[in-house]
Chain A
């Protein structure tokens, strides 16, 4: 393969996966004040995989560039990615407003073209809006191949990428020549923790901040939030003392 691989890794800053989000008083969003934020877990896997590829396919992978689209605080998310081994990064500062997947995809398309990327590795979904859309939309906009829910990725010498995908009922294997968009599933790898020295070093790595305007992408909402509510609580259950009582309770509930 003559052209080198340039990887783009989009990362999102989300409410930490271990936290239970609270709905705000206006019922149009979640409480954000005093809440711990982290890198979206699937994006963490994407970063890990991109950095791993750089080592595994030495000489083939030229660079890994991370991108985040979000508030200025998303710089922290990019610093984490840089500390994990990403070379350079861009923050597209869009303020606190949540940007819909279609717009995110359009911004990413511009960045892919600007960076000359030929492989995008990203999380299969963000754990806040649970859309599972951006990878597929970006692949569509670029006219590239897509492999979602990747559990294993291997790149041949000919630049053909083979991806094992998690699908309903098992595994599917697809292959495609670059350029390509791959979204990561949980079992692709186990992201490592970032050490403090690496975090310090990452402060010196490039982090460019731009606006969506600079890429000539209009941020426009297509979806209007009518309400955001807590799910209906379940009725309090009972604790039974033995199996006999369990069985009779299940019969009462007509569950067996």
Chain B
């Protein structure tokens, strides 16, 4: 009896020692990884264990060959079943759970709509407490994440055997480094199929309406021009912001007030409840700077505020501020750039 127990413990230990991989659920848009997924690879590398990338949906196969060439990626798993086409958490979570059961000690997803839907569901099925919106990796169990709308920075250590995290894309640069050509051919990641998993949930995807835009993606843009309540209406918003954004090759963002007033689509909202961004340059136009908005942009490298109210809280975080009429300043700035 005693001997048997020892063997079991030794076996368990051997297994733990052997299986210390990170599973990264990466999202694709067509055959390309999303910008959030590229940042997730960077975060996964910081965990410092071999990374297995998981790609699901009809585009998985096409995306796999590129994913396999990223430095740090040890293996790529693809599951191209049609059922994963829209990343329904009811379908994706059981798949993640079935994979996590034996091989991994870390799991990462981008903190995107998809990641936020899947991560907690999968974690609950495994009885683990996940960590949302990680902005820094300390070690494989210890992470930094903002709380209270970014007003408090929490360093937290997980005691779960598999540490499950979602990665805030603005906090990690997108992965660029590819595997060296000099590496032996065997090292190129094997791509293998895994069996689909059934669930009882009868959730059906009906349709989506994505905002069409020829501008850079808000979440990953280098420059963001953002408008607030002071823009008066949709026409003014577009007339004032579009030329400036075009000149700078910038994405357009908005405060919640502007979105609620119907000046622009809600997918442009920057803040605690919208997108969290950290571009090189953020220009806030007619935005007062409520804490909920600041939570979404205060990690930008350079912040410019244009506002007629010199008491506006946005001037407290702005590197460069200009007090005055946005209808005079913005066209002049557009012209002189």
Residue with the greatest number of chain A CB neighbours at <10 A, chosen from B124, B125, B147, B151: B124
Would B156 and A143 count as touching, CB distance under 8 A? no
Would A225 and B156 count as touching, CB distance under 8 A? yes
Would B122 and A176 count as touching, CB distance under 8 A? no
Would A246 and B322 count as touching, CB distance under 8 A? yes
Would A187 and B333 count as touching, CB distance under 8 A? no
Residue of B nearest to A172 (CB): B208
A96 touches B (CB below 8 Å)? no
Q: Hey, what's the 0/1 contact readout for A162-194 against B, CB within 8 Å counting as 1?
A: 100111111111111100000001110000000
Instruction: Given A128-B147, A253-B302, answer yes or no on A222-B152 (Cβ-Cβ < 8 Å).
Output: no
User: In whole angstroms, what is the CA distance A144 to B202 when docked?
Assistant: 9
Choose among A136, A225, A230 the residue that contacts B117 (Cβ–Cβ < 8 A).
Answer: A136
Residue of B nearest to A190 (CB): B260
B310 contacts which chain A residues (CB < 8 A)?
A: 239
B125 contacts which chain A residues (CB < 8 A)?
A: 140-141
Closest chain A CB from B227 CB (angstroms): 17
User: In whole angstroms, what is the CA distance A131 to B176 when docked?
Assistant: 29
Instruction: Given A132-B132, A239-B321, A255-B281, answer yes or no on A140-B88 (Cβ-Cβ < 8 Å).
Output: no
- Segment with Cβ contacts to A, from B60-68, B157-165, B189-197: B157-165
Interface members, chain B 290-327 (any A CB < 8 Å): 291-292, 298, 301-304, 310, 315, 317-323
Closest chain A CB from B288 CB (angstroms): 13
Residue of A nearest to B211 (CB): A170
Would A223 and B121 count as touching, CB distance under 8 A? no
Instruction: Given A136-B120, A222-B128, answer yes or no on A166-B267 (Cβ-Cβ < 8 Å).
Output: yes
Interface members, chain B 250-298 (any A CB < 8 Å): 256, 259-260, 265-267, 272-273, 275, 280-281, 291-292, 298
Would A243 and B156 count as touching, CB distance under 8 A? no
User: In whole angstroms, what is the CA distance A223 to B159 when docked?
Assistant: 6
Instruction: Given A140-B124, A170-B267, A171-B209, answer yes or no on A20-B156 (Cβ-Cβ < 8 Å).
Output: no
- Segment with Cβ contacts to B, from A67-75, A99-107, A201-209: A99-107
Would A20 and B291 count as touching, CB distance under 8 A? yes
Closest chain A CB from B139 CB (angstroms): 11
B319 contacts which chain A residues (CB < 8 A)?
A: 234-235, 237-238, 253
Would A141 and B206 count as touching, CB distance under 8 A? no
Choose among A127, A145, A249 the residue that contacts B272 (Cβ–Cβ < 8 A).
Answer: A127
Would A226 and B157 count as touching, CB distance under 8 A? yes
A59 touches B (CB below 8 Å)? no
Q: Hey, what's the 0/1 contact readout for B153-182 against A, CB within 8 Å counting as 1?
A: 111111110000000000000000000000
Would B116 and A174 count as touching, CB distance under 8 A? no
Q: How many interface residues does chain A have, given as a range?
A: 35 or more
B200 touches A (CB below 8 Å)? yes
Would B151 and A231 count as touching, CB distance under 8 A? yes
Would A255 and B209 count as touching, CB distance under 8 A? no
User: In whole angstroms, what is the CA distance A96 to B260 when docked?
Assistant: 35
B210 contacts which chain A residues (CB < 8 A)?
A: 169-171
User: In whole angstroms, what is the CA distance A246 to B317 when docked?
Assistant: 16
B129 touches A (CB below 8 Å)? yes
A130 contacts which chain B residues (CB < 8 A)?
A: 132-133, 145-149, 272
The A contact surface, by secondary structure, is mixed
Q: Hey, what's the 0/1 contact readout for A134-159 against B, CB within 8 Å counting as 1?
A: 11111111011111110100000000
A23 touches B (CB below 8 Å)? yes
User: In whole angstroms, what is the CA distance A102 to B291 when docked?
Assistant: 28
Would B336 and A247 count as touching, CB distance under 8 A? yes
A105 contacts which chain B residues (CB < 8 A)?
A: 124
B317 contacts which chain A residues (CB < 8 A)?
A: 234, 237
Would A229 and B203 count as touching, CB distance under 8 A? no
Residue with the greatest number of chain A CB neighbours at <10 A, chosen from B123, B159, B200: B123
A227 touches B (CB below 8 Å)? yes
B93 touches A (CB below 8 Å)? yes
Instruction: Given A136-B89, A243-B336, A246-B320, answer yes or no on A170-B152 (Cβ-Cβ < 8 Å).
Output: no
Would B90 and A173 count as touching, CB distance under 8 A? no
Would you list 26 pairs from A and B whose C-beta atoms are within 8 A, ordered by A residue? A20-B291, A128-B147, A130-B147, A133-B120, A133-B123, A136-B118, A137-B121, A146-B117, A148-B116, A149-B113, A165-B113, A170-B210, A171-B208, A174-B204, A175-B203, A176-B204, A221-B159, A222-B158, A226-B157, A228-B153, A230-B152, A237-B320, A240-B320, A241-B322, A246-B333, A250-B281
Interface residues of chain A, those whose CB is within 8 Å of chain B, are 15, 17-18, 20-21, 23, 30, 100-102, 105, 127-141, 143-149, 151, 162, 165-177, 185-187, 221-231, 234-235, 237-244, 246-247, 249-250, 253, 255-256
Interface residues of chain B, those whose CB is within 8 Å of chain A, are 86, 88-90, 93, 112-114, 116-125, 127-133, 142, 145-160, 199-211, 219, 223, 248, 256, 259-260, 265-267, 272-273, 275, 280-281, 291-292, 298, 301-304, 310, 315, 317-323, 329, 332-333, 336-337
Question: A136-B121, A144-B201, A223-B158 provided; 4 other pairs, C-beta below 8 A?
Answer: A130-B145, A140-B125, A222-B158, A228-B154
